[in-house]
Each structure stands twice: as structure tokens, then as C-alpha cells.
Amino acid sequence: MTTTLHAINALEESIGNTPLVPLLWPSLPPRVELWAKAEWRNPGGSVKDRAARAIVEDAFKARQLPAKRLLDASSGNTAIAYAMLGAIRGFDVTILLPANASQERKAVLRGYGAEVIETNSLEGMDGAIRSARALAEGRPDRYCYADQYGNPANTRAHYEATGPEIWRQTRGRVTHLVAGLGTTGTLMGAGRFLKERARDIKTIAVEPDDGFHGIEGLKHLPSTIVPGLYEPSLVDRTERVSTEEAYEMARWLASRHGYFVGPSSGAAAVAALRLAETLDEGVVVAIFPSGGERYLSLGLW
């Protein structure tokens, strides 16, 4: 038991406190800094470790886990975080995800021992969410429905940790926060914290430019179920990025900066650079959600 508890503590203590890494472009104005929050450095490989840990902690406090199976819909990264925590904490995990999710994500999930239920690719994440809700409603005795898109623990994780980290790492100089919209928890939580510290800080949401896109992890809000966590009043500006732009930027970041990241990070970089080039001065921080290893089968490289 002591060894198990030690392992749990070591794992959870390694979530968060990810570094800020510089993004250097010749086109940046002299007094503008551009930084990326390297969330792929989390032990589960993505920003979703933060929300998953908070959601799991709440479920344990409510004594839903480990008595039931944790159930949720995910495009992959939150699912992997759940599965990682389930493997070490001793609870079972069932994940519903679109069949066209990358093969690497599915393989990692199965490696951690999670049950993977694939849903109709044409229905995207909305289809996976509807299927998860139906499964949870049909078997409340069996499943603890995590509901990452509506669970306030998701936003709270970023309010209590991601936002304060950015504030501390920039020594309070951050002027703009750029983050993709998936569950929207990252931008809502970190953005709220930063705006409470300085009202002039701007939050920039990043989403695909249409509903039929290939940027895994991001949602095109006008054409999908809007997450319950989303608060439009916290968004100062929305940048829409095409799949091609996101992929091209991901390739550029790997080959020129050494940051091997996925397409959602590429999308955040595109939006952050667009913004930075319009500023006279500022400190722009973009959230890079995950690394590129889970997207090899998508043909980015």
C-alpha cells in the first residue's frame, strides 16, 4: 500500500508546472514576446492531465470511484489522462471516441487498460458525447460519468494552476492568452484567473474555420454542441484556423524550433503569431496542448 500511495503522489505531483518556451519569428515587432506553454511535458503527454486529475479527485471524494467505471467521451487526450490515472489508482475506465481518432491515441488507451468504444466518425465528438450520455443514463449503477465538457472541475484545474503558473512565469507581464477551444476549460479557467489579476489581459480563443476539419481536440463551436463550461463573456477575440494552416505550422515548429507538437498546438501558434504581428508591444502566451507523437498516422510529416 505504501508503494502504491507513493506512486500516486509522484505521478500527480508531476502534473503541471510545465515550462514556457520561446517562439521566435523574424516578423515579430521588437517589443513583442511570444511564448508557448509546453503542456506536452505533462506525464500523460497533454494539458488534459490537469482536468482529468481534478475530475478524478472529485469522483473519489464523492465515493463514485473506484466503485464504478469512469465513463466519458473524448477525442483522446483526456481519455489517456483518465486511463493513466485509472491504471495507478485502481479504477476502470470506459472511453467513447470517434472512430477516426488517431491510431496512436487508441493504442495508448488500450495500453493503459482502458475500454475503448468507437463511435461514428461522421458524427464527430458530438456523437461520442451523445453516446456517452445515453450509456451513463442507462446504467447509473455501473458508470461514473465524468462529463469533461460540463464538469466544473475542468475549469477549476486551470483557474487554480495553469493561470497562476503563467502569471508567475511571466512575472505578471502577460498581456494576451491564446488557447484552443475543445472542452473550453483551459481558456475559461486560466483566462478568468489572469483577468482577475489584470483587467487589461486579453483572451483569444482558437477554433477550426469550419465544422469539417482535421484538428483533433478542437471544436468548431458554431456547428457543434457548445460545452457547458463555455462563457462567451471571457473571450475577447476568436481566431479561426484552417486544418492546412495548423498542419503546416506543426511541421514548421518541429523542423525549425524543435517543438514536436500536434495540430492543435499548430493552430494555437498560427493564431498567436497573427495576433503578435499586430501589436506594438506585449507578452503573448499560447497553450500548446500536446506533442506530435500521437498524430503520426495522420500524415502531418
- Active-site positions read 48, 264
C-alpha separations of 111 from 51, 101, 105 in Å: 21, 16, 10
Cα torsion at 268, 273, 274, 279 (round to 10°)?
130
- Count CB atoms within 10 A of the CB of residue 70: 27
Amino acid, single-letter form, for residue 177: L
Dist. CA 70–CA 114, nearest whole Å: 10
Give Cα 165 to chain centroid, integer Å: 16
Contact (CB, 8 A) for 82 and 93: yes
Dist. CA 77–CA 2, nearest whole Å: 29
Dist. CA 7–CA 173, nearest whole Å: 36
Give Cα 179 to chain centroid, integer Å: 9
Strand partners, 204: 178, 237
C-alpha separations of 261 from 8, 14, 289, 300 in Å: 27, 20, 8, 11
- Tracing cell 473519489 back to the chain, one arrives at 60
Q: What are phi and psi of 34, to 5 degrees?
A: -130, 125
